[in-house]
Structure 1
C-alpha cells in the first residue's frame, strides 16, 4: 500500500472515525481523507477531514483534487439520525452511494473500492437456511427500510464493478456489530434492563466485534481481493443463551406487542426497533464465513460468544433485581386474587406461588 491515498466516508460516526484513524497510522498509507456532512467528535489523529455531502456531485471534486486511489464506503446507516427521518436515511444510503460511485467511475486514480454492507441483505424469515452463503438470495425480498436500501446499494456496487473492471471492488457483508462502546440498534436492545422477546421464538444470533470490523476493513484495503464476503465471528448463540450471559431477565411478548413496545422505545429514544431488527429477533440469522477465510484471508479475533462477553464487560447485571421485583409483583397479585375470592376464608400465608 505504498503511498496510498484513502478516502473514508461516514467519519462522523464512531466506527468510521476509528477506521480512518487506524488507516492513517498504517506505514504504507500516505494520506487519509475523512468525509462527512458534520465533523467527527473526538480525536482525528492523522486524518484530514473534508466537510462534504456524498449526495452532492462535489464529492467527485474531492476525489480528483486529493488524487484518491482507495475509497472505503462506511456511510450506509441502519437507522434514521436525529436530523432526519426515513426519507433522509434513504437519501444518504442510496442517493449518496450512487453519487459516490459516479464520482469513482470518473476518477482514473481510483483503483480500489471497499464497501461496508450488512448481512441484513439476507433478511430473516421462517424459510431461511441454517447458514447463508454469499450466493444465496433472501427468501423474501425486502420492500422497504434499511434492508431494501442495502439491496439497492449492493446492486449499484455490482454495476460499478462491471463498468470499472480495473477497480478491485470488495463488498463486506458484516454481521451485527457489538462492542463495549458500540451504539447500534442491537446494542441498544441488549443494554435494556429487561429484554423483550417474541413469545415462542428463540432466534439464533451471530455477532461481529467492532475490532474485527475494523480489522476486516483494513485487511480488505491491503489485500485488494475483489468479491463479496460474509464477515462474522465463529458460532451462533440462541437469544436465550445471550440473555443468560448478559444476566438479564426476559419478557416474552406476542409479536405485535413487541412491535408496539418498540415504537414506544423509539419515541422515547431509548432503543431503535426497526422492522429488520424485529424480524432478526424473531427468526435469527446465521452466515457462512468460509469465503472470508479461504479467499479474503481474514480471521476474526472474536467468536460470537467472545464478542458478546466483551460487550457485557461494562454492563451491570439486572437479572437478580428484576427477578425480585417480578416475584414481588406476582405475590401482590396472588394476594389480591385470594382476598377477593368468595371462597377465601382466611388471609393467605407464605410468599408467592411457585414458578409458572
Structure 2
C-alpha cells in the first residue's frame, strides 16, 4: 500500500499530470515531487523538492521523508526539450542509476514503478506482428531514446536482483498522444508537410495521455505486476494519421531519412530521430493481454480515437482551409500503394 510517494520528473507534462491525479487519492498520505526546475503547472498537493536525481542527495530525501513508493516518470523521450541528446542520456541513464542506488540503500522503499517505453522493442522488418513482454527484439535500438530505455530496464532488473523485497512494475507505454502533450510523434504529425518513408505505410499503436496516467495510477496503487505493455486497441497507419491530422505528405527514401531528420531537428519544429524513422517505416505491435489480465487495465481510447483527439486540437496545415483534411484523406488511401509501385519500377 503506497503511503509516501516520491515522483520524479514532476516539472514535465506527464509527471505533473500524474502528480495531480495522484493528489485525488485520499489513501496517499504524502507526495513528494522531484525535479531540477520548478514546475510551471499545478502538481496538486504534491510537495515540490528541487533536486537532481543524478545527485546522491536524492537518497537523503527518501530517508528523511520515509518514502515507501518511488515512481520514476523522468525517462525523457525528447532531447530538444532538455538541451540536446547528451543531457537527455545523462538524465535517463545516469539519473536512473543514481535513483536506483538510493532506492537500494533505503530501508523504507518497498515499491518501484517505472514509466518505460515500447521503444525497447525497436522496429525492424524481421519483428513479430505483436511483441509480448517476454519477447526480445530482433535488433536492439542502438541510438537515442530506445537505447536509453533498454539500459534503464537493464538497471531496474539488476536492482530487482539486489533488492528482491521491493515490488516492481514497469509499464512499456506505446507512443503517447493527446490534445495537450508534446512528444516526438505529436511534433512530427504537426509539421506543415509530413515526410514519410518512400514505399512504406507502417501500422503502429498509440496510447492516450489520460490512459497512460490511469495505467500509472493503477501500477502505483494496485498489486505489483512486473513488466506490462500498455497501448490502445487497434492500429493506425502513417497515411491514416496524416489524413486525420489534415497534413499533406512528402515521400522520402528511407536512406535519406537521417539527413532529413537532421534538417527538421535543426529547424526546431520536431525531434526526428533514426528510431522514429524506422518506426514509421516498419511499425510495431504490442500484445496487451497482460495489461488486461494482470494489470487489470482497460484503455478508454483506441489507438485511432487517441490520435483523433490529438488531431481535433491541431491547427490546419493551411490556416482557414477546412477542406485540406478531406483532400488529404481522399488521397491517403492510395498513396502508399502508388509510391510502392513507382519504387519497384525504379529498382535495378
Which runs of structure 2 are paired with 1:1-356 in the superposition (5 Å)? 1=1, 4-318=3-317, 320=323
Distance 1:27 1:83 in 2: 34
Report Cα offsets for 1:197-241 as digits up to 9, x if no partner.
001000112100000010000000111223100000001112122
- Report if the CA contact (8 A) 2:69-2:109 is conserved: yes
* Corresponding position of 2:344: none
After TM superposition, the structure 1 stretch with the greater mean CA deviation from structure 2, 110-119 or 142-151, is 142-151
Task: Tell me if structure 2 keeps the 8 A contact 1:197–1:251.
Answer: yes
TM-score by structure 1 length?
A: 0.87
- SS in structure 1 opposite 2:278? helix
Deviation, structure 1 residue 58: 0.4
Listed one character per residue, the Cα deviations across residues 53-107 of structure 1 (whole Å, up to 9, x for unaligned) are 0001000001001110111001111122455332221111111101101111111
- Deviating beyond 3 angstroms after TM superposition, the runs of 4 or more aligned structure 1 residues are 81-84, 316-324
8 Å Cα contact 2:225-2:294 kept in structure 1:
no
Determine which structure has greater relative contact order: mean sequence separation of CA pairs < 8 Å that are 6+ residues apart, divided by chain length. 2
SS of equivalent to 1:61? helix
Residues 5 and 28, structure 2, Cα contact 8 Å, conserved in 1: yes
Residues 322 and 225 of structure 1: CA distance in aligned 2, closer, same or farther (over 3 Å): closer
| Distance change in 2, residues 1:323/1:258 (3 Å) | farther
**Structure 1 SS opposite 2:262:** helix
- SS of 2:191's equivalent in the other structure is coil
- Quote how far apart the aligned CAs of 1:247 are: 2.4
The secondary structure found in structure 2 opposite 1:53 is: coil
Question: Any idea what SS the aligned residue of 2:29 has?
Answer: strand
Long gaps (5+) in structure 1: 325-356
| Range that drifts further, 69-78 or 312-321 | 312-321
SS at match of 1:114: strand
Question: What secondary structure does 2:79 align onto?
Answer: coil
Query: Counterpart of 2:340?
Result: none
Q: Distance in 2 between matches of 1:68 and 1:222?
A: 14
TM-score by length of 2: 0.89
Tell me which moved more, 168-177 or 243-252. 243-252
Q: Which of these two proteins has the greater Rg computed from alpha carbons?
A: 1
CA distance in 1, matches of 2:269, 2:80: 14
Query: Closer, same or farther in 2 for the Cα pair 1:149/1:223, shift >3 Å?
Result: same
Q: Distance in 2 between matches of 1:318 and 1:255?
A: 24
Which segment drifts farther, 237-246 or 298-307?
237-246
Aligned to 1:22, the other structure's residue is in SS state helix
Q: Point out the more displaced range, 259-268 or 51-60.
A: 259-268
Gaps of 5+ in 2: 328-348
Distance 1:71 1:44 in 2: 16
Report the Cα offset of residue 321 of structure 1.
5.0
Distance 2:80 2:34 in 1: 17
